[in-house]
Structure 1
């Protein structure tokens, strides 16, 4: 057995060994090791001085599986083959090339693309490491986290990858050719793509460590990445409703009053968010206690919100003021770092008075004892009163005026430089793992809203938002590509501050008609993101701040909040596809239409689930400038209906969601965009479940669902249901109902229900609608069903 696993062969003075997982060799004093993790994924390790230093990955949790592969040699080439991929290693220069099983080229390293430069990392002699690749000239690649540059295809750019407020960096990209590359390094990293090469260069690394994976298509690559770094658990149903927030509610009466007002207006709402300062002064920063006297009875506050059938999540940070209990306990074990962070002053006044420094310090989440302390106070001070989830602000964390010496500071895992970019992964993971572990919370799903992320964070029940973006049309447009590229890294849950955080570009704030139009368009986009959340500074954003019923802006906001709720059966079923099938909720067009080159680089359209094509309006249409004295001002102008050009990808036909009109794919069309219409199209062959009108997600059972069939192609859909907010689905407590449309026979087959859970519907009615050009089917339109079917869990065939 050992002779088989450790065969030694000599070729031109180059020897290599076959191992249980791959091969080992040395080329020009560089140790090289290839390890198959499965038939689709191979890990590449390179070490200087002929030595490979093992590390325990912070992102990768998969261990190598027993994988069948062969090794053969042809001249200077060592060729490894698994069922899915072929890897060729040039034994003279160390260059690696990757192909699919049929031998079609996918990716190759630059001939001299690996380099190691000696580096002193806070007194530790190590290396700066670099690996370059050669991509096809017109190859589209995606991912690298979230940036605000508005680019869909991530070519011809340079990124200095250090986590920031509005930029989340993940050293991973995937290609339209169906492969992905994960550079497993956590230090500040430069990614560069130009006409010469595509390169990762990291400041600190004991060696080169990256993974090549082949999925055949975008979903397959994401499946590989999640298999490697962790699967995404289910969120509660209520998290997919509408969320209201602002910077900040200053008392519990104000907070509870917002929920009450929504209920009085009959506008759906599932969540309210309490931002910072409920703890009191900056010296008490993030005490995880209600020390502000305006929050005089936290238990009553939470109960009042719950009694109105809403949920509360609350702001927590990764830093602590010097007068807090967590600070003192963390300081005793040396688990506080010392670099400038927010807030800079003990005073809340702006600008900060640096004569009175806040003394706030970031904690060390790499230290397991520090994560224990963090959770202890979070549990005692906030979970104990029934808070439903966590808003982890500054999870990158805030690092103001960063200086090189700041990165020399020691963490539990070495210098801060060495592990810098994994900070959000560690701090979010600490909260998730602790909450999953305690019996008191075992039945309630963890929900974390966080400002930053790193590879693997999808396994921690977290939804990332895009940070404190500015309120502008350009910022709105940039959110689309930011969210899509983030999702293409395998992390499926993302959102943005609806309306933008800072209103500094609109001095008149909500009185500016252009801002009101921007807010509506952002909210329309937000209705098709994994979380629909209104938030911002400088002015409140509740719906009643924009007028009342009959006002165009108010009515448009109301319309899309209600549309969100009617789509909940589709959204929740899609979330199950994310968990069980490694799918993505926000889908770049290239994911489903990789053969259509015209779809590769579109940065203002996407699919929400696999049926709905969304094209957000990202420019003003209904304002005009009116001169007035020394200044000009904006006024509303609805005298004519404007339009937007939309590209419908080739490979499918499409229906206008609002009118039922059908279109052939592969064409651009002009579609009318009044203020309350976002271009929204449904792929032919789709089966779309529409839920009831409700005031909150769980108000009504789904016993009278409308099932819309969009003919023109065969199609299917799986309706998923469970207990909505427990982990019993992991034990099989859920049901699925599969719908299948045969376009030639004009038959809808509703299959036997599979599974069971306590409280499930034993019987229900499906209102079947076959969409056509004559039938208006917008969510706010009454639709006469073609048939009403009573379903008791047994297979039914419906002829349409």
Structure 2
């Protein structure tokens, strides 16, 4: 609390920090945390000092306060924060006095806005103008952006976009922007529709049916379809027949827009094409974009053009709509000092509010983020095995039959997934099963468990209002009413009125959880798939309409002000319910969307309903890497891509080789992702089905099943480190090789843990690819065993059935035996793969695997070191214990030094020893 009223241009000390009142009357509050983090809040009248729902840590630092002339400073051992009294300019410095974050005070904005009659503030800040630093994080985005310096990112939840406003810099800090509204990082202004005299030509088949001038390419949302010209209307082509519902052949729709754009500014012009179906964009006759996306899930693709002022560029857009959606937006170049800056702008809030985490390494930044927003609990060991899913299993016999088929073929698997629509058609939200298709769901779960499997069930926050659960929620005022008032119908059967529950009130979360607890929890499910948590009640509504409809009926806050936050309270409510109902079982939640702090809800995220194309496979890599740098350790994607083009779903023989190769390449990437999970629309993705008639493909897929399970000791140790050490499994190269500027923009290679570098293949018929080996160490080609020097680009062999992998010199990688599920022989013999060329260390982690014993200290660590000069591997004394721990282990040590060619992880030769928990040194 303030000791006295503060005058303009003055400073007042408060608990853990200070408040500066500027000459303009703004208040700038800076609070310190013991780890060196600073919270900065700016407003004319400061809001309550409590952290938001995103941040759970309270300020606890004891900074040194200094007032030197017109600058007030808070100093901690890790960093200092200085505020200029006149204008509130803020500078964060490291302990040596070097600038980490330097605000450009004239850019700061707090502009009053009225939303549904309520007063709010649009906000903007800018730092480090003209910076060369690398910038990463911000959640998951699908535009192949790796280093965000010079890029624009809009943080707005979507089926395939996850907004987490945490940015990590190579300069030595992380910044958490505490705002739940739509936020723009980079250009503070939204892109505008590109207005030209577009020549629009509409075709049905080969016939041009209309030509006219249009001011914009703009069929973006459902409401815009009313402007479609009657002359160009055609029935939607059925995905499987190419006919309309009457069985008649349909003429293909096609639209061609051509226009000349003459910029009045020179520089890099940025464009965002929002689209579904097939679209190709040309600039001066050169193709700059070609994409496909399903019509119920359009989204943005970025492209940019370097243009000269006054020199026109000819644009051409060719689109096959099939009743789809499209719009083209544009942004002028920014001045260089603004283009290369750290800038946040939010549409609504009560103040400028952010946290700066000093971070000598990116791991330190993530650790600081999790200290603010919550630790990542441990996931069960079985979660890191293989997951099989399908859109969708229609009967309980299918669910059990798939697990049995894997067991019969001796292909490892842990978890089977029951996706949506297991309920009766008219009962979404009942949390019940259609008795005709699922006559005994408890018996289904028991049958899977008898096969040593696990079951994940899909549970949505969506309700038909006339179900028992929908009525109970509605009676308490816990359902969103606006989707019902709008008369929206979903895509099921005849189409049903539907809405979502509002999780912002604890009582609403409690009722939602009780409904789950009474119906689904007793059936014995192991994991909970929480879909559509943006929330996404209709994919083709405008953003403004989505925001309007999600205005909270329980807390009365406009949807625009909390647009990005829905997935956090929803996941937290379920996680807390699971912890109370099953106190000695680790919860596992898979949710399609997340926000700052989502990791504390025992939640993994996935990349949404992405398309099954090579470009989309490539896009997943940077999407997952930046989500990991936003502090989320457990992430997955639909192996093979969720939505499939007709040429694949019809199983056209001409396209079958490409589909199989795409699935194989995606599967290889999945095996080296935090969670290994296959899911998608037809064709079916089960390993033995998708590879039918292709023995080499079956062999390739099975190889990665088995390799994943052999590597579980390594992978589970990585998983434990995400909890105990705030570590990251999926690591952009910049995390470990920041000093090598060549890695800053690499978006198709990454480290899987500290030792293995994966280089997925993302082009059809590629049988080699270029791989950069970062400097600062040497490497081994895992497919050939060949040692290689760092700091060079190599051409890596990439046969269809194998993905290039590289291992760091000095790595120690523990592996287990060949098993069929994660719980088979978890305390069995170990293999230690040791890679010569540098000293190394690895500390193996083990525990019981699924209970909460880890939180009680029931786990084991075995420190392992490699002395390269002495050629000696040392196993230290075993630390700790847990129920079921093996007192004695057989361990085979394999040294990789380039003398034995072949796949390093297929080697079985080595020196075998018995480890009893006592220190043991082995000369190799």
TM-score, length-scaled by structure 1: 0.92
Q: Secondary structure at the match of 2:152?
A: strand
CA deviations on 1:325-372 (whole Å, 9 max, x unpaired) are 2211110011111354999546635xxxxxx54111111011211111
| Cα separation, 1, equivalents of 2:579 and 2:382 | 19
Q: Does 1:545 align with 2:689?
A: yes
CA deviations on 1:131-160 (whole Å, 9 max, x unpaired) are 222245321100111000011101223333
CA deviations on 1:658-703 (whole Å, 9 max, x unpaired) are 2221111111001111012211011111101111101111111333
- Aligned ranges 1:265-664 → 2 under 5 Å: 265-281=409-425, 283-340=426-483, 345=489, 348-349=492-493, 357-400=495-538, 401-402=541-542, 404=544, 407-408=547-548, 409-413=551-555, 414-438=557-581, 441-504=582-645, 506-507=647-648, 509-510=650-651, 511=653, 512-547=656-691, 551-621=695-765, 642-664=767-789
1:237 to 373, 381, 406: 381
Post-superposition shift, 1:410?
3.1
Post-superposition shift, 1:573?
0.6
> For residue 71 of structure 1, what is the aligned residue in structure 2?
65
> For residue 172 of structure 2, what is the aligned residue in structure 1?
178
- Aligned ranges 1:678-697 → 2 under 5 Å: 678-697=803-822
Question: Does the CA contact (< 8 Å) of 1:689 and 1:708 recur in 2?
Answer: yes
CA 1:758–1:207: 2 relative to 1, 3 Å? same
> For residue 295 of structure 2, what is the aligned residue in structure 1?
none
CA 1:777–1:382: 2 relative to 1, 3 Å? farther
Question: Does the CA contact (< 8 Å) of 2:35 and 2:368 recur in 1?
Answer: no
| Cα separation, 1, equivalents of 2:518 and 2:469 | 12
Question: Does the CA contact (< 8 Å) of 1:577 and 1:583 recur in 2?
Answer: yes
Q: Secondary structure at the match of 1:506?
A: helix
| Cα separation, 2, equivalents of 1:56 and 1:68 | 18
2:859 to 730, 734, 754: 734
> For residue 128 of structure 1, what is the aligned residue in structure 2?
122
Question: Does the CA contact (< 8 Å) of 1:472 and 1:505 recur in 2?
Answer: no
CA 1:681–1:484: 2 relative to 1, 3 Å? same
Q: Secondary structure at the match of 1:420?
A: coil
| Cα separation, 1, equivalents of 2:403 and 2:68 | 71
CA deviations on 1:236-258 (whole Å, 9 max, x unpaired) are 11111111111000000011111
- Aligned ranges 1:121-270 → 2 under 5 Å: 121-193=115-187, 195=336, 196=338, 197-270=341-414
Question: Does the CA contact (< 8 Å) of 2:32 and 2:62 recur in 1?
Answer: no
Post-superposition shift, 1:780?
6.2
| Cα separation, 1, equivalents of 2:442 and 2:86 | 69
CA 1:411–1:714: 2 relative to 1, 3 Å? farther
Question: Does the CA contact (< 8 Å) of 1:566 and 1:779 recur in 2?
Answer: no
1:17 to 7, 12, 18: 12
| Cα separation, 1, equivalents of 2:693 and 2:716 | 29
For structure 2, the 5+ residue unaligned runs are: 188-333
Question: Does the CA contact (< 8 Å) of 1:528 and 1:614 recur in 2?
Answer: yes
CA 1:557–1:339: 2 relative to 1, 3 Å? farther
Q: Does 1:758 align with 2:883?
A: yes
1:46 to 42, 47, 50: 42
Q: Does 1:713 align with 2:854?
A: no
Post-superposition shift, 1:116?
1.2
CA 1:549–1:700: 2 relative to 1, 3 Å? farther
> For residue 303 of structure 2, what is the aligned residue in structure 1?
none
| Cα separation, 2, equivalents of 1:482 and 1:546 | 26
For structure 1, the 5+ residue unaligned runs are: 350-355, 623-641
Question: Does the CA contact (< 8 Å) of 1:271 and 1:313 recur in 2?
Answer: yes
Question: Does the CA contact (< 8 Å) of 1:502 and 1:537 recur in 2?
Answer: yes
Q: Secondary structure at the match of 1:181?
A: strand
Q: Does 1:792 align with 2:916?
A: yes
Kindly tell me the number of residue pairs found equivalent between the two proteins: 764
CA deviations on 1:702-754 (whole Å, 9 max, x unpaired) are 33111011111111111111110001110001111010111122111100000
1:97 to 79, 82, 91: 91
| Cα separation, 2, equivalents of 1:674 and 1:615 | 13
CA 1:597–1:8: 2 relative to 1, 3 Å? farther
> For residue 800 of structure 2, what is the aligned residue in structure 1?
675
> For residue 783 of structure 1, what is the aligned residue in structure 2?
908
CA deviations on 1:503-534 (whole Å, 9 max, x unpaired) are 11634555511010000000000001111100
Question: Does the CA contact (< 8 Å) of 1:80 and 1:87 recur in 2?
Answer: yes
| Cα separation, 2, equivalents of 1:698 and 1:343 | 49
| Cα separation, 2, equivalents of 1:696 and 1:33 | 53
> For residue 61 of structure 1, what is the aligned residue in structure 2?
56
Q: Which runs of 4+ in 1 moved over 6 A?
A: 7-10
Q: Secondary structure at the match of 1:421?
A: coil
CA 1:265–1:548: 2 relative to 1, 3 Å? farther
| Cα separation, 2, equivalents of 1:376 and 1:701 | 35
Question: Does the CA contact (< 8 Å) of 1:165 and 1:396 recur in 2?
Answer: yes
Question: Does the CA contact (< 8 Å) of 1:39 and 1:68 recur in 2?
Answer: no
CA 1:411–1:40: 2 relative to 1, 3 Å? farther
Q: Secondary structure at the match of 1:304?
A: helix
Q: Secondary structure at the match of 1:759?
A: coil
* Backbone CA RMSD of aligned residues: 2.0
| Cα separation, 2, equivalents of 1:127 and 1:320 | 33
| Cα separation, 2, equivalents of 1:346 and 1:495 | 27
| Cα separation, 2, equivalents of 1:692 and 1:502 | 36
| Cα separation, 2, equivalents of 1:308 and 1:51 | 59
CA deviations on 1:386-439 (whole Å, 9 max, x unpaired) are 01110111011114313636534334332222222110111111100111122x
Question: Does the CA contact (< 8 Å) of 2:18 and 2:30 recur in 1?
Answer: yes
CA 1:431–1:779: 2 relative to 1, 3 Å? farther
> For residue 36 of structure 1, what is the aligned residue in structure 2?
32
> For residue 247 of structure 2, what is the aligned residue in structure 1?
none
Q: Secondary structure at the match of 1:157?
A: coil
| Cα separation, 2, equivalents of 1:403 and 1:759 | 53
| Cα separation, 2, equivalents of 1:178 and 1:347 | 48
| Cα separation, 1, equivalents of 2:150 and 2:801 | 37
